[in-house]
A and B are shown apart, each in its own frame.
Chain A
Amino acid sequence: MTISQDILETVNKKQSIDVALIWKTIRRFILYILMILAVLWSVLPLAWVLISSLKPDTETYAFAQDQNILPQEPTFDNYQTLFKVTRFGLWLRNSTLMATGTTLAVVFFGAMAAYSLTRFKIPGFELFSRLTLIAYMMPPIILIVPLFFLLFRLGLVNSLWGLFLVYTATRLPFGIWLLRSYFIGIPQELEDAAMVDGATRFQAFYRVILPQALPGMISTGIFVFSVTWHEFLFASILLFSPSKQTLSAGVATFLSEDWIYSWGMLMAAGVMISLPLVLFYMFLQRYLIAGWGGGGLKG
């Protein structure tokens, strides 16, 4: 609908339709088709999960025969089963705590560190930057055994606090690396000008640099939240009581069983794991686009 309006507008603007205009219209039409294809490619599989989570298992098993895409009798039974039969509610709570805490810690400490690394020429900082990069590239798998020793010594094995520390420390290098690239992009002159005008460095940072770096901090936050929310390896090895498990590691136990208890219930689990993330992201996405559109446009 909006597509044809757009084309009509383009057409109505000019009195005479020349070849260039036709070309332009065709080009725009193709661009719109491509845009729709890109969106479908991205969301169709996920839409299928949502749809299937609302179907009773009898409909799911009949799909190959009757090819009914939409649920004939939509139901929330799968969700009820999920919370009643499994410990899903508990895993949901644990993952929420981990992802939120880690995001806040990484954005806060990461912005501090990134600012420090880009603005002050102190001996040893360059070395630390390199070390940070190395820490950041660490395959998580290499850390499993040593971290187990370390957390054991600290009495933090099988504890959500221990996992929180591990998450924050292993996500910080990326946070610093990404934030650094944003801080480097902010001209030093902006800050210097504020300081010449009588601002302290803190004021310059808070009033001038921070607003400029906000899109970077939001991008970092979105990233850290999503990777921590679905983290599997550390959680599956560093936590072993079923009551302390997080979402990915918990749901993975369904997949490692020899038979699938109920596909509908698994799809409901998929929706539940994705939903808070998607809502959170949509809320922040507006800031992200605002940041992309304005403020960031500098020569």
Chain B
Amino acid sequence: MTSSASPSPSPTLPRQTGEVARSAGGGPVLEVRNLTVSLPKGADRTNAVEKVSFTVNRGEIVCLVGESGSGKSVIAFTVMGLLAKALKPTGGEILLEGENVLAADETRLRDLRCTRMSMIFQEPMTALNPVMTCGEQIDEVLSTHTNLDANARKAKILGILARVKLPEPERIYHSYPHQLSGGQRQRIMIAMALVLDPVLLIADEPTTALDVTTQAEILKLIAELQESQGTGVLFITHDFGVVAEIAHRVAVLRWGELVEMGPTEQILARPGQGYTKMLISSVPSIHPQHRGERKNAITVLRTQKLGKTYTGHGFFQKARVVKAAVDVDLDIRKGETLGIVGESGSGKSTVARCIARLIDPSEGKVFLGDTEIATMPAGKLRPHRKRVQIVFQDPYRSMNPRITVGDFITEGPMNFGLGRGEALARARRLMETVRLDPNALDRYPHQFSGGQRQRICIARALAMEPELLIADEAVSALDVSVQKQVLELLDEIRQRLNLAVLFITHDLRVAAQICDFVAVMSKGRVVEYGPAEQVFGAPRDNYTKALFAAAPGRHWEFGKFAAA
């Protein structure tokens, strides 16, 4: 084993504080030199990662930023030696405290994992084994890598659970992952990763799947722990808000190549490369712009005390009641965008689904124009179906892979009696509206990128000539530069067709940019509702205030670059 110049961490001895460790650090914790990772034959490019070099020092957080396909996760997995079999590192070296891990064999890699280098992942919901208790899963790390006896291991685990600020460590120790929330599970992952005080922590989008308030807590926790232990952190993200919040230095990647690297402040304020500039200016501002009011426009949708209650049945047990939405009053006028923002489980999607009658509301009324549709029987509802259309979150899963784009768009109108010729002509027009080639109608979904697919989904919704368009997290799965284009497209279509839009999102920045009115939902209720400027500018409700305070990078105005 190649020992480094810096004091080697021992699991039983207390480590130096961040300050000391940082100044005392010999060489960098991680040094990636000219790393090249090749893709299998037939991929869209030869190398997933090409000649990338960077370092992570002790006590430092380095962010790898890039859009999907930039190779940022591939780099992380290469360091851990967890690369999929199809990908092969073909050049360069990765030095972990001076030891080249690319040259290490499987046994040596296993010894290094969790002791010197640890990794946490994007999806805390699926990253833990569902059939083992959290305590057992952390215990595995200790029993694999140390000689501690059962009591010592248990004490150490309870210690680390307390350090990641989980309440009642003893109860958490015996809990299964499904009994914990997403944020708690990510804390378990962090505890597992840091229990043996590794010198390097790789965090692969660790907060992307979490709610914004939870995200803020987890980011704070990672920063605290890494500072007190002097851990070097390689933090992978696509979110510049997170970068502004946590990074010391930033490396920007594009198509597997390093675009530029520098201190956070420099990259965000004075990026040297056009690509970086474009990426940063695509981040939507959290401050809404002033938008014209439409007091006299016709009301397209009005809900009155709308509610949805789910009840579970038991033979002997008491029935479980979940109130997913309670007393929701909303209205949208022609040409207006109403945003519903909230965290997961707040009921925002339930409301959208009730309005579209994809599920049946249990209380209240939904008026589409003058028609009440909340209690309308299915047969009578059919002609009204075309008046509300939805664009869903995931463009990869909301299209049938075996039918062509043309059939996908024309199916709806033809179902409502339009002839094939006319429907196709409409589809061609709409393809132009969403800026796609009308001649691509005979292609299949897999031939399009995520952003293009979402445009197709929008075209499909518009083909029904709806009065109300519901966008349910319609841009959340897209990269920031693509997201910007789709948002602009949606706004343009709204203006041109004078369409009413209900925009469901968890992303405050997106809501700030596209909405005229905003309803903030929490636990099934609308806690604040008003013009976007007013809600964002002077929130009144405590929950809204907390939500805004948690938005990462809220103090940074992205895209206002200083003169270089």
**Same complex:** no
